[in-house]
Amino acid sequence: MKILTILPIFLIAISLYGFGQTKISGAILDESGNPLPGANVYIENTYDGTSTNPSGGFEFVSNERGKQNIIVDFIGFESTSSEIHLAGNPILLSLKLKEKFNQLDAVNISAGTFEAGDKKKSIALTPIDMVTTPSAAGDIYGAIQALPGTTTVGESGKLYVKGGDSRESKTFIDGTLVYAPYSSSPPNQAVRGRFNPFMFSGTMFSTGGYSAEYGQALSGVLALKTNEVPVEDQLNLSIMSVGVGAAGTKTYEKSSVSASLNYYNLKPYMQLAPQNLNWNAEPESVNGEVSYRLKTAKLGLLKLYTSVSRSNMSLAQANQGATDSHENFNLVNDNVFVNTSWIGELNNNWILSTGLSYTNNIDYVTLDTAKYNEYLKGGHAKAMISKKVTDKIKIKFGTELFSKQFENEFLAPNDSIYNGFESNMATAFAETDIYASEKFVTRIGARFEYSNYLKRFNFSPRISTAYKFSKTSQVSLAYGWFFQDAADEYLLYTNKLDFERADHYTLNYQYEKNQRIIRSELFYKGYSNLVKFTDAPFYTAEGYNNKGNGYAYGFDLFFRDNKTIKNGEYWISYSYIDAEKNYLDFPETSAPKYSSKHNFTLVYKHWIPGMRSQIAASYKYASPRVYNNPNSSIFNGEQTMAYQTFDMSWSYLFCQSIIFYASASNLPGFKQHFGYNYSDTPNDEGVYAATPLVPGAKRFFILGCFITLSRKGDINQLDKIN
């Protein structure tokens, strides 16, 4: 009897329970309408829910009643919440999820810029390549010249970017300016960079359209990042045919100290190898470096770097335009560079970066009985704050102070001349990156500069943008105004000159897949306010004005392949540059003497496991450049020879800690001729006599042994030579 009574009640309860349930079904899709299998679909604050099937569909029931929120989660997509009303009636939903923004996968602006470093996903030229390119001979600037947008000027060795002279490109270390980045040398002989490539872990080389953070550069910026705190003690010894060196690192719990000392003397080598110059005293130099790193609170890092060097040389060079008379040219250079920086996190994820650098460079030159001394002192202080406001907005702004003192003096037995000036410049800059999505980003920035010496200011707007077609390809655009002081040798005589100006337009396309990268770039650069000479004497303010102008346009191509050849890698770079200027003493618009229309570089490196060796080779070509022959009625009507060089290097891993090394430049002995030096006045026949400009030697060879001593014995310098 009790069973008969309970059964109807149980059946009624089951019926009411089923009536209270709501069936919820539908599909979860992405923004393109593709199904998302495995997405979690559930009612907020309940256990009611399920996961989508392979077709993106789902179905579940809920006993909840009234207004509820249904949540959808899926990895890589933004969660979504939708309000539904549960009343027992079936609910059919079709929801689309928006892909979550991930800055690591987002597009990067690449117009005009090559970046390399451990934290960069897209790398065209790694930091190791900075020191493993045979044509570079261990020089940072030589390695950069293997990239498109540059021109090789054999008698200079400096960086020439997209129709600009070497003064138009600036070097920064940890954000602060290096006033004298190159070594000193006799006229028309190639220089090298002052700094050891081993000290850098990151590189940004921009040939146009660069960030508002950088100023006082019309054409290019090379920003170098020094190494972080090392993890192991080591001692490096170098024994070479041109000198010896030693470097050591001592690590502590939160800090480290590194020091190096190098001595170079080219006399033994030059007495064996044929030279084109008559040396009285072959180049000799000594330099020392000290680097300190300290980890501070809140992920902060303090860096301090000091470099001190002295070099000297003497040669008997032909008098300008004469082949039968010589003068003794003696050069002594003293250089001191100090750089310190600190970066750390402040409150609310604000990042503070500070830097301070100081340069003191002195050239003592003696020409027979006359002396010419040049003094350059420069300082740069910088503070910058940055923050990621949201996942899609980043901002940075800062201020800088540049200080420069430039002097020269001419001392002759019966005369002496002194000139000098001091300049201070205050700047401010601001910039923001705005990501509309992972595929589209816009960078807007501006820079303001004021010079107390010129009593002038400039304002530089800059904008760049990039769109990512797919995970492998993207396009970038950049535009901006760029300003720079006139050359120091002109500012000695006048402070009435305005800033020189260049406007950049850059279009870049980049494709990267399977360890292969292709970059192509179109650019145009318009010059205005360039310094122009007048008929007034050079030592008067009236000798200069800003009526010069010019342009440069062209096309760059870069291809690198680390995949196709087993144990091998290669890259090809090509630049077409058409540049013309009407400036300085030019009587008409003409191509400047340092610009080549066609520049080509091929680099190949191969590791041979059986021989424990790395072999590298590079070929470089630069088309003829113009120069002016005063005996001709056509200005800049003559051309140099095309520049060619084929270089090779070989590294042999004798054991894990010892490497033997050999390299040779211009192995085939290509003839290299850079035009002529002409006398300032004609001879009795009305002819301006000339002397040829040629390199110091047809070839250059180097042999070396590199030894690394460490606790584990598994560290070597194979990735830091060639």
pLDDT over 70 percentage in the chain: 90
pLDDT of residue 386: 93
pLDDT of residue 331: 94
pLDDT of residue 33: 84
What six digits make up the tokens of 650?
């070989």
Task: Determine which of 53-57, 164-168, 359-363 has the lowest per-residue pLDDT on average.
Answer: 53-57
Task: Give strand pairing partners of 497.
Answer: none
Three-state secondary-structure class, residue 347: helix
pLDDT of residue 321: 53
What six digits make up the tokens of 591?
């191509």
337: confidence class by pLDDT, cuts 50, 70, 90: very high
**CB-based contacts of 624: which residues, under 8 Å, 6+ apart?**
596, 639, 640, 641, 642
142: confidence class by pLDDT, cuts 50, 70, 90: confident
**Other Cβ atoms closer than 10 A to 96:** 16
Q: Residue 177 pLDDT > 70, yes or no?
A: yes
User: Burial code of 238-249, b = ≥16 C-beta within 10 A, e = fewer?
Assistant: bebebbebebeb
702: confidence class by pLDDT, cuts 50, 70, 90: confident
* 169-173 β-sheet, strand order: 113-116, 200-206, 220-226, 169-173, 176-178
Which tens digit of pLDDT belongs to each residue from 660-700?
888 899 999 999 989 888 888 888 888 988 888 888 889 98
First to last CA, the chain: 101
Q: Residue 502 pLDDT > 70, yes or no?
A: yes
pLDDT of residue 16: 42
Average pLDDT over residues 121-139: 58
Beta strands at 169-173 and 220-226: parallel, antiparallel or unpaired: parallel
* Residue 140: HSE in the Cβ half-sphere, 13 Å Cα cutoff: 24
Residue 681: which of 606, 630, 618, 621 has the closest Cα?
630
Average pLDDT over residues 318-329: 69
Which tens digit of pLDDT belongs to each residue from 55-101?
889 999 988 888 999 999 887 778 888 889 888 889 999 888 887 76
pLDDT over 90 percentage in the chain: 51
Select the more confidently predicted residue: 6 or 535.
535
Three-state secondary-structure class, residue 7: helix
Beta strands at 22-30 and 91-97: parallel, antiparallel or unpaired: parallel
d(CA 455, CA 637): 40
Domain 2-97 in this protein, CATH class: mainly beta
Query: Which residue, chain included where needed, has tokens 């030693």?
Result: 246
**CB-based contacts of 437: which residues, under 8 Å, 6+ apart?**
101
Q: Residue 12 pLDDT > 50, yes or no?
A: no
Select the more confidently predicted residue: 708 or 492.
492
Q: Residue 238 pLDDT > 70, yes or no?
A: yes
d(CA 331, CA 286): 15
Residue 401: which of 358, 433, 345 has the closest Cα?
358
pLDDT of residue 147: 87
Write down the architecture of domain 113-720 according to CATH: Beta Barrel (2.40)
Query: Which residue, chain included where needed, has tokens 């390549």?
Result: 129
pLDDT of residue 11: 43
Residue 145: which of 109, 183, 200, 192 has the closest Cα?
192
Residue 595: which of 626, 564, 565, 621 has the closest Cα?
626
Average pLDDT, the chain: 87
Q: Residue 302 pLDDT > 80, yes or no?
A: yes
Average pLDDT over residues 402-414: 92
pLDDT of residue 299: 76
Which tens digit of pLDDT belongs to each residue from 251-283?
898 899 999 999 999 999 998 888 888 899 999
Q: Residue 617 pLDDT > 60, yes or no?
A: yes
Three-state secondary-structure class, residue 401: strand
- Residue extents of the structural domains in the chain: 2-97, 113-720
d(CA 309, CA 361): 10
656: confidence class by pLDDT, cuts 50, 70, 90: confident
